[in-house]
Structure 1
Amino acid sequence: MKAIRNIQYGAMVFFGLLLGTSCSGLLDEPLENQQIAEGTDYTQTQNMVLMLYGAYNQLYDFGWEIYPSISVRGDDIDIGGRGDQPLFALADSFRYDRNFWAMNSAWTGLYGDLIYWQGAIEEIQKYQEAGANGTTAQQYIAEIKVLQGFEMLQLARMWGRILIPQSSEPSALLDVELSSFEEVMQYVSARMDEAIPLLPDMRPNQRSDVRGGVTRYTALAVKAIANLELKNYPAVAEATGQIISSGLFSLEPDFYHLFKLRGKLNNENLLELQYSDYGTATGTSNKYLWDFFGPTSWTPTRDGASGGWGFWEPSMKYIQFMLDRGERERLETTVIFTPDGITDVRNAYPNAPSWISNATPDGDVFNNSVRTKFYSGKHYLPSAMLTEGRTAYGENKNFTCIRYAEVLLMHAEALTSGATSSVMTADAAVNAVRNRVGLGPLSGVTLDQVLDEKFAEFAGEWGIRFYDVVRHDQTAELSYGGRTYDATTSRFYPYPLEQQDVLPQLREGN
């Protein structure tokens, strides 16, 4: 966030060099970095908190190209953006190109964060050695470990074998061996175990020092995700069971508004990227670049509201899946239709319901586009909700990363995969999510029903669908619409060519 970025971080400034800079350039500057770090007066212990603010700022500066790289490969999403970024379209079809700039940018962006955060940990340790409160210092370090764990998950899910940074010196990566996908997940789980007892015992939105900041339940959720990838289902049930039994979290009653302003710092959220225009018509506005998801042509209810690039298209496969289930609330929230999209739906599904429209519940009208026939409703903020005087697409909207519905359905997935729990049954967990959107209860829930519920609930969110079907060997679902998934070549991205030129470990890694 710009307001935080303007704070003078002293020793932390050099870590910002990672952003927008090639790894090869950084490797030439370690001595300069060290000299800057030596200029900090660590006896000014009141400045230690700036390291934490900087760490959260780094998370909120999440590059727009990282999310689609994480999320595009499932059968819930098609890339959209027809006629532009052909290498992105190839990635959506499991035909990867090492030269694709967005993959390289995702790699450098995530590693920039990990190394920055490692530097923040080292700086906090120096403040503690100089007399800062030890309990506070260890909490700050634990919070940063959770941020590292969340992004390390994303790196390993994309590339499989990755490098785990142990130093804030970028050049130290040259001496790090590749860790396997399983080793990374074990490492993340262990780091969460280190962090959990040191973190606040509350919801993120209950924190008064850093509103929306990490708590022990965020760490438990990250631990659960890591163990889900390891198929360590008892550990998943145990971690999610702790979150559920806390009684602190609840599902937002209105699924549609969960992804609008009401979703900011919601009781359902365990981790979110926070943004704000501070309620003012002009001046500082810290925002995610939602333009990627926005319409190339629309008629907003708010005059002057900007559109976007039309790159993120919910799939027809998902739409038909939801229509077959008789769902409205989650479909209407997840998918925004254009007139051409409606025509395609009615041609493929003659009994499509009459409520399907190119006008959203808030009155914005989405017009035809050469780039896409459907838009993402989860990444849309109604123009009427923009602060007066603000015009950027989605401005003032937060980006949710982990929510309680995912915790419930991970719990159900673990139980239907062989784990046990005295906290909640799989039926109860699934039915809590279904009840929110007016669906009837299920009895004797199976794994396939859990995965279907996750498909319906999380379409377009953080690649959850792709990782689910891969984990449970249901990848036939990914071969559709001309795509062919090959388990030997499609699971992980190849390392970016630019990174292979810098890091010799990657040349034989995949």
Structure 2
Amino acid sequence: MKKLKQLLKLLTMLLVMFITVLSCSEKLEENDGQLSADDLDFTLSENMVLPLIGAYSETYSRGWEDPLLIGVRGDDVNAGGVGDAQGGFTNADLFSYDNGYWMFNQVWENFYGDITDIVNSRETIEKYKEFAAGNYIDLADQYIAETKVLSGFQHLQMSRLWSDIFIITTSNVSEDIDKGVKTKEEVMEYVSDLMDEAIPFLPDMRPNERTDIPGGITRYTALAIKALANLELENYQIVADVTGQIISSNKFSLYPDFYELFKKPGQYSNENLFELQFSDYNSDSGDVNNHLYAPFGPASWTPIVTTASPGWGFYEPSLKYIKFMIDRDDETRLVTSVCFTPRGIDEIMLDPDYTTLPSYISNVTPDGDIFNDYARAMFASGKHYLPSNQLTTGRNDYGSSKNFIVIRYAEILLMYAEALTQGASGGSMTADQAVNLIRNRVNMTPIAGVTTDDVMDEKFAELGMEWGIRYFDMIRLNKYDELSYDGRTFTAEAEYLPYPQDQLDLLPLEN
């Protein structure tokens, strides 16, 4: 943590630098997207890490809207707040899209703003490389590779949302925009190729083994993103090959405590291939770098630490997910993934098949925080919940200092298993072994003869509420019936969001 604190202090200096010399809105206009040698002293190779930290900062400082919009359309998640001021978000959950809704445009701008700044960072590092010598040349290649991985991740998320998007490769953004949008297939191929470019230059280690940037990108992060891109393309043999490399490295393992994986003890674990990092530096005041978790939190609760703040209630595990988990008696993952309210428990029991619930279903979490009734939602996401007794003393914001896991080894195992059930071959393990590793962690009975449907059920249970994984699986497999739940009707026309109206007014886009 001490190294991370020092790096983040460097980041503060870097952000000031970015405001003055690398601003997307100002610097690109002044110099037509090119940096002047007068801006920075590129002979100071020791400063080459600063633009890299800036690229990480852009990626970590996600708008709160991003994970909510990415995830809300799956049958694992409902939008909280039906009929309130966030009606556009609720409508998106119901597959009724208003391209004038502010959140669509905000998420578009968040991702493209980040991508442009990451490209700026890469180009800055390339300038440093021109003057580098000795080990700094290799370091420059590594840093450039890391920016490619960060850019690829953001392109992948955008294309999952909007399908056909612009690919941004240079700070002279107008050149890329003039080339028009690329199809989703082209974007995913670009991401896959970009990972191939990056992998040879990245550290061969887990993210938590890095000492320079703890939890930073490694070649396994890039392999994971390559696997995700090829999963979207249904290139199952490539998925099996790439995830098989990760498995065969023997570097990763499942964190033994599923509940604590999503809390502070699970940060920087051997399971995490990519996580967004935050810190309040274990201090009760002063600088803080946090994600805004309030949208995931309950609007009313009685926490063990009485000063801990509530949330907004915008993101709600679905009744369908909860009943699916009860039917499996999937206790550990259900208690981890869902925080219940009394009203929510009563709502489950209205169904004649669920009038008697398992004793482990309670509005009191394993850490003793009590989730009360509130208007917007009946449940909250436990994966985005930090127990109040894990907050740093004096830090009361909901989820303060909690990291945000993006890709973990469990997803790698399940992608590998699916690829094998879809006809790919792999020598790392069998599909049964991959699935049962995950089931064993949460004391679920092993299964045999795993099918694609079995893998999808396991992904539903294991990865619910995480980054829209369930939704993207269902549209990839054309399982529209799964998304047509609780009165919703899903059709192929609803797979992707419409382009935001503000962008239609500015850019060469067509809905």
Q: Does 1:418 align with 2:420?
A: no
Change (3 A) 1:405 1:8: closer
Identity level (%): 53
**Greater Cα offset, 173-182 or 113-122:** 173-182
Residue 12 of structure 1 and its aligned partner are, at CA, apart by 4.1
Counterpart selection for 2:476 from 471, 478, 482: 471
**Greater Cα offset, 54-63 or 427-436:** 54-63
Partner of 1:393: 398
Change (3 A) 1:403 1:277: same
Q: How does 1:487-498 map to 2 (within 5 A)?
A: 487=492, 489-498=493-502
- Between the aligned partners of 1:158 and 1:315, the Cα distance in structure 2 is 21
Deviations, residues 425-483 of structure 1 (Å, cap 9, x unaligned): 00000000000000011111000000000000011000000011111111111011221
Change (3 A) 1:455 1:15: farther
Residue 17 of structure 1 and its aligned partner are, at CA, apart by 3.8
- Between the aligned partners of 2:42 and 2:143, the Cα distance in structure 1 is 16
- Between the aligned partners of 1:435 and 1:14, the Cα distance in structure 2 is 53
- Between the aligned partners of 2:336 and 2:461, the Cα distance in structure 1 is 11
Deviations, residues 279-313 of structure 1 (Å, cap 9, x unaligned): 11111111100011111110000021101101010
**Greater Cα offset, 274-283 or 430-439:** 274-283
Change (3 A) 1:15 1:149: farther
Partner of 1:106: 107
- Between the aligned partners of 2:143 and 2:481, the Cα distance in structure 1 is 44
Change (3 A) 1:39 1:347: same
**Greater Cα offset, 341-350 or 126-135:** 126-135
Residue 44 of structure 1 and its aligned partner are, at CA, apart by 1.6
Gap runs ≥5 in structure 2: 1-6
Change (3 A) 1:177 1:298: same
CA contact (8 A) 2:22 2:120 kept: no
Change (3 A) 1:202 1:28: closer
Counterpart selection for 1:459 from 453, 460, 464: 464
Partner of 1:203: 206
Residue 11 of structure 1 and its aligned partner are, at CA, apart by 6.8
Describe the SS at the equivalent of 1:358.
coil
Q: How does 1:59-458 map to 2 (within 5 A)?
A: 59-82=59-82, 83-132=84-133, 133-348=136-351, 349-458=354-463
Change (3 A) 1:254 1:8: closer
Q: Does 1:7 align with 2:10?
A: no
Deviations, residues 116-155 of structure 1 (Å, cap 9, x unaligned): 1111111111111122522111100111111111111100
Residue 388 of structure 1 and its aligned partner are, at CA, apart by 1.0
- Between the aligned partners of 2:497 and 2:331, the Cα distance in structure 1 is 35
Counterpart selection for 1:481 from 474, 480, 486: 486
CA contact (8 A) 1:10 1:40 kept: no
Describe the SS at the equivalent of 1:271.
strand
Residue 501 of structure 1 and its aligned partner are, at CA, apart by 1.0
Deviations, residues 172-216 of structure 1 (Å, cap 9, x unaligned): 343132110001111111111111111000000000111000000
Partner of 1:21: none
Change (3 A) 1:301 1:36: farther
Q: Which amino acid aligns with 1:115?
A: T
Deviations, residues 90-141 of structure 1 (Å, cap 9, x unaligned): 1001111111111111111101111111111111111111225221111001
Q: Does 1:41 align with 2:41?
A: yes
Residue 351 of structure 1 and its aligned partner are, at CA, apart by 3.0
- Between the aligned partners of 2:112 and 2:318, the Cα distance in structure 1 is 31
Q: How does 1:20-59 map to 2 (within 5 A)?
A: 29-31=29-31, 34=34, 38-59=38-59
CA contact (8 A) 1:14 1:33 kept: no
Change (3 A) 1:295 1:278: same
Describe the SS at the equivalent of 1:428.
helix
Q: Which amino acid aligns with 1:212?
A: G
CA contact (8 A) 1:26 1:171 kept: no
Q: Which amino acid aligns with 1:494?
A: P
- Between the aligned partners of 2:415 and 2:37, the Cα distance in structure 1 is 42
CA contact (8 A) 2:342 2:372 kept: yes
- Between the aligned partners of 1:13 and 1:50, the Cα distance in structure 2 is 13
CA contact (8 A) 2:35 2:124 kept: no
Change (3 A) 1:355 1:174: closer
CA contact (8 A) 1:165 1:176 kept: no
- Between the aligned partners of 1:75 and 1:227, the Cα distance in structure 2 is 23
- Between the aligned partners of 1:26 and 1:316, the Cα distance in structure 2 is 48
Q: Which amino acid aligns with 1:224?
A: A
- Between the aligned partners of 1:37 and 1:96, the Cα distance in structure 2 is 46
- Between the aligned partners of 2:374 and 2:36, the Cα distance in structure 1 is 50
Residue 14 of structure 1 and its aligned partner are, at CA, apart by 5.5
Gap runs ≥5 in structure 1: 19-24
Describe the SS at the equivalent of 1:272.
strand
TM-score (norm 2): 0.95
CA contact (8 A) 1:15 1:116 kept: no
- Between the aligned partners of 1:314 and 1:472, the Cα distance in structure 2 is 22
Describe the SS at the equivalent of 1:415.
helix
CA contact (8 A) 1:30 1:169 kept: no
Residue 15 of structure 1 and its aligned partner are, at CA, apart by 7.5
